[in-house]
Structure 1
Amino acid sequence: CGSHKGYRNLVVCLDGTANQFGHRNTNVVELHNRILKDDQDVPQLTFYSSGIGTYVPPSTFSLAHLRHNLDKVFAGSFKRLVEEAYRWIADHYLPGDRLFLFGFSRGAYQVRALAGMIEKVRIPVLPYTAFQIYQRDSARSQAEALALNFKRTFARSVRVHFVGVWDTVSSVGIAQMQPLPLTKSASHICFFWHGLALDERRVKFLSEYLAGGRSPLTGNEHYEEPPNAKEVWFPGRHSDMYDRSIPVIDRY
């Protein structure tokens, strides 16, 4: 988890559903904007994705608008957005570079899936087949053997340096998807920080905790937080976690 001489920072920022650049930007956009991209000491390359169900023509009767609404309901672009970020890393990564991954809501879950994908199949020369290998049931020995063989044959070993996420939500569209491999672990990440909304009670915005998944641990369960991970509650609801500029009257 250290750094090497001449290293660069590769920063990936994935926003939540229907979040995009505008007059009131999310914390993910603001973070991306504040990254020093012309730092002479440590070069920094950035990638930003606006999330599921964004950027459509204004007409509510257009085919693109229909696709936009269907994407928000069924989250058909979930896999594509993860693959786009993964391919960007594969295209730019050089040995010694540090990877920083940031996300909000469903973008936070995509970031955690991306980190798991990098751990499971590493950074390959053939990124187009990586997601199919990553999402296979890791409990099956055949799937594990395939991933291991893929890593040995096509991939470069790399460890994600930092994952920073706001209020991870794993429900994509109208259904709860099956958990993706390594999204409930931080052992493959150097540093993991997670901000959670204390006052959110809506089912579709249930947070995906590092410990316990969608069900927080009770006081009777033994759990030691990994030294490289930190999860912190903040007052407010889901929307407060991405934009502190929202007037209080509009939050509730």
Structure 2
Amino acid sequence: MTWLQNRIKTVFERFRADRYPSPPRRRSSRGQKTHVIILDGTLSSFEPGYESNAGLLAKLLDELGPSINVYYRPGLQWHSWRSIRNVLFGGGLDQQIRDTYGALATRYRPEDRIFLFGYSRGAFAVRSLSGLIDRVGLLKAKHATPRNIEQAWRAYKNPQTPETPAKFRAAYCHRQVTIEMIGVWDTVRALGLRVPFFWRWMPDRYGFHNHHLCRSVKAGFHALAKDETRLAYRPEKWRANPDHPAHLEQVWFRGTHGDIGGHLSGFSAARPLSNIPLVWMLQRADACNLPLPKDWASRYPTDVNAPSIGHWQGFSKLLILRRRRVISVGPTEWIHPSVARSERVKPEVHEEK
């Protein structure tokens, strides 16, 4: 009996799992991803020939394929008379920021890179998104539930309770998230078009947003419209933060709000003027190591003396409150060299009759 037991034991020893271990499982080598968030301005279009600079950037990056994750979202649209309030007064911005935050949280993994771009109210939105990430954190993918996204937003909106974001970050968020750059074209506040008389009764629901470049951001670039006068489009510049020595450039270009953002409503003659802040932004993105098609620079011809779209188009006729913008010059703010060339010639301005 003992001999038989030993014999059986010997046979089973030959087929023990630990003697013939299975090959190691291959880990999915996803590799580092680059996430690009692009939020466009109000009434923007993605139709060929009607794209803003934000839309052109999104289409350019789409050519790179799956190596880069591009999240593009158009601005508020006038789909019907029901949506007019959102268009006029900036409603829906909260939801846009929350949706974008959730989309980024589900895609982001540690060591990934993040780039944020926006135009007009979309610029305000991406800057708010960076503030949300900086103050509260970016949810881990497994925790990116609608409930947690809403809780993160509430914690961001109520800075009076600093312990809440800290606890929330420790429980649900990545330990540290870095934003490589924020690039924005003519940031304006979210209150909307400021139709005369009505805007005075609209509450300032966005006073909690941070006006400084956040600590999690390596570099910020802001293209500003030198010739804009509508108070509805009062620019929201970044304020210098001596405690956070990030790279910051705020540069003034010839043109109005639509010229700087490339929102030209089909007036193609102004495209070479709008390409100047577009090319400038792409150069800065390239310097921050954002992948771009090799031939991108040859696609956007520039002309500082091209016609401007002006500021009496469409709804703008209702915006009677006007004032010239105050232009500052300093270590982080200056006028683009192309402006000097335009002042030697009186450029044409296109206005609707």
Q: Which range, TM-score by smaller chain?
A: 0.7 to 0.9
| 1:27 aligned residue (25, 47, 53) | 53
The reply on whether 1:85 has 2:100 as its aligned counterpart is yes
The reply on whether 1:7 has 2:32 as its aligned counterpart is yes
Give the structure 1 partner of residue 157 of structure 2.
Answer: 135
Contact 2:38 2:54 in 1 (8 A): yes
TM-score (norm: length of structure 2): 0.59
- Alpha carbons of structure 1 residues 224 and 147: separation in structure 2 relative to 1, 3 Å: closer
CA offset digits 1:145-164 (Å, max 9, x no partner): 11111101111121211100
The reply on whether 1:195 has 2:210 as its aligned counterpart is no
Give the structure 1 partner of residue 232 of structure 2.
Answer: 204
- In the aligned structure 1, how far is the partner of 2:243 from the partner of 2:256? 26
- Post-superposition shift, 1:172? 2.1
- Post-superposition shift, 1:68? 1.9
Q: Which amino acid aligns with 2:310?
A: R
- In the aligned structure 1, how far is the partner of 2:128 from the partner of 2:308? 34
The reply on whether 1:50 has 2:74 as its aligned counterpart is yes
Secondary structure at 2:162 match in 1: helix
| Residue correspondences, number | 224
Contact 1:11 1:47 in 2 (8 A): yes
Contact 1:37 1:44 in 2 (8 A): no
- Post-superposition shift, 1:67? 1.9
Give the structure 1 partner of residue 279 of structure 2.
Answer: none
- Post-superposition shift, 1:36? 4.7
Give the structure 1 partner of residue 189 of structure 2.
Answer: 170
- Alpha carbons of structure 1 residues 69 and 158: separation in structure 2 relative to 1, 3 Å: same
Q: Which amino acid aligns with 1:163?
A: I
Secondary structure at 1:35 match in 2: helix
Secondary structure at 2:239 match in 1: coil
TM-score (norm: length of structure 1): 0.81
- In the aligned structure 2, how far is the partner of 1:153 from the partner of 1:115? 20
- Post-superposition shift, 1:19? 1.1
- Alpha carbons of structure 1 residues 46 and 224: separation in structure 2 relative to 1, 3 Å: same
- In the aligned structure 2, how far is the partner of 1:200 from the partner of 1:181? 24
Please tell me the root mean square deviation across aligned C-alpha atoms, in Å.
2.4
- In the aligned structure 1, how far is the partner of 2:260 from the partner of 2:244? 22
- Alpha carbons of structure 1 residues 188 and 246: separation in structure 2 relative to 1, 3 Å: farther
CA offset digits 1:217-238 (Å, max 9, x no partner): xxxxx98994411111101111
- Alpha carbons of structure 1 residues 91 and 73: separation in structure 2 relative to 1, 3 Å: same
Secondary structure at 1:81 match in 2: helix
Higher helix content, 1 or 2: 2
Higher strand content, 1 or 2: 1
- In the aligned structure 1, how far is the partner of 2:95 from the partner of 2:137? 18
Contact 2:256 2:308 in 1 (8 A): no
Q: Which amino acid aligns with 1:206?
A: R
Contact 1:7 1:96 in 2 (8 A): yes
- In the aligned structure 1, how far is the partner of 2:220 from the partner of 2:129? 13
Contact 1:87 1:127 in 2 (8 A): yes
- In the aligned structure 1, how far is the partner of 2:190 from the partner of 2:244? 24
- In the aligned structure 1, how far is the partner of 2:244 from the partner of 2:162? 27
Contact 2:32 2:111 in 1 (8 A): yes
Contact 1:186 1:192 in 2 (8 A): no
- Alpha carbons of structure 1 residues 250 and 158: separation in structure 2 relative to 1, 3 Å: closer
Give the structure 1 partner of residue 171 of structure 2.
Answer: 153
- Alpha carbons of structure 1 residues 177 and 48: separation in structure 2 relative to 1, 3 Å: same
Q: Which amino acid aligns with 1:122?
A: G
- In the aligned structure 2, how far is the partner of 1:196 from the partner of 1:224? 24
- Post-superposition shift, 1:205? 0.4
- Post-superposition shift, 1:80? 0.7
What runs of 5+ residues in structure 2 fail to find an aligned partner? Answer: 1-29, 193-198, 271-306, 312-353
